[in-house]
């Protein structure tokens, strides 16, 4: 238990007994240990001329507990969801758009049906390869089959949508 606490001089650093006004070593004035008083502006006087303002009334201390906000089911997309919890509409759009670029089944993978998506992707590539070979064999006549190619992603997307809409 110390008899007194020393206050370091802000100028030379020498320890000085608490309560002394000046440093015993260099004579610099010892600042009072900084205890910043938080600025507490006085509450505005009640405006007697205005109508009662319920917001101006301080809340009682016991009511600081705010009950949790009611669970908002609206944050969940209202539409049907896929196995991966994504929106079926989003998965369908991904399936169609990616399918146009030759990546059929991406929407299925996005929807959580990874195996089905990979199967569609490989199957689609196999069909394209067969179609190319067929076009070569038929001297380009078989290339007309590619006119139907853009339809497949749309069908796959609609299939995806109907699959998850039922479940
Ligand atoms: Zn000093």
| Secondary structure in 3-state letters for the chain | CCCCCEEECCCCCCEEECCCCECCCCCCECCCCCCCCCCCCCCCCCCCCCCCCHHHCCCCHHHCCCCCCCCCHHHCCCCCECCCCCEHHHHHHHHHHHHHCCCCCHHHHHCCCHHHHHHHHHHHHHHHHHHHHHHHHCCCHHHHHHHHCCHHHHHHHHHHHHHHHHC
pLDDT tens, position by position, 50-75: 555 555 555 555 556 666 665 554 45
Distance 2 CA to ligand 1 centre (A): 22
pLDDT given at position 54: 54
Distance 8 CA to ligand 1 centre (A): 8
Distance 21 CA to ligand 1 centre (A): 11
pLDDT given at position 65: 61
pLDDT given at position 74: 46
pLDDT given at position 64: 60
Distance 1 CA to ligand 1 centre (A): 25
* C-alpha neighbours within 13 Å on the C-beta side of residue 115: 0
Q: State how far the Cα of 150 lies from the Cα of 140, in Å rounded to an integer.
A: 18
Q: Is the pTM of this model over 0.75?
A: no
Residues 6+ apart with CB under 8 A from 13: none
pLDDT given at position 71: 56
Distance 6 CA to ligand 1 centre (A): 12
Distance 34 CA to ligand 1 centre (A): 17
Distance 68 CA to ligand 1 centre (A): 56
Distance 22 CA to ligand 1 centre (A): 8
Distance 30 CA to ligand 1 centre (A): 8
pLDDT in tens, the chain (167 residues): 556 678 888 889 888 888 888 889 999 988 755 445 566 666 666 555 555 555 555 555 555 666 666 555 445 555 788 888 888 999 999 999 999 998 999 999 999 999 999 999 999 999 889 888 888 898 877 777 777 788 899 999 999 999 888 75
pLDDT given at position 20: 83
């Amino acid at each position: 238990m110390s008899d007194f606490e020393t206050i370091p001089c802000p100028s030379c650093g020498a320890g000085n007994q608490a309560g002394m006004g000046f440093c015993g070593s260099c004579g610099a004035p010892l600042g009072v240990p900084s205890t910043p008083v938080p600025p507490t502006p006085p509450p505005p006087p009640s405006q007697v001329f205005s109508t009662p303002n319920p917001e101006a009334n301080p809340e009682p201390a016991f009511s600081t507990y705010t009950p949790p906000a009611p669970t908002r089911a609206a944050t969940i997309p209202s539409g049907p969801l896929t196995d991966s919890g994504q929106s079926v509409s989003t998965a369908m759009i991904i399936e169609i758009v990616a399918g146009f670029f030759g990546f059929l089944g991406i929407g299925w993978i996005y929807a959580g049906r990874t195996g089905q998506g990979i199967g569609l992707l490989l199957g689609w590539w196999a069909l394209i390869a067969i179609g190319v070979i067929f076009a070569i064999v038929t001297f380009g006549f078989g290339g007309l089959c590619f006119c139907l190619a853009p339809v497949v992603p749309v069908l796959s997307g609609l299939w995806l949508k109907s699959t998850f809409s039922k479940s």
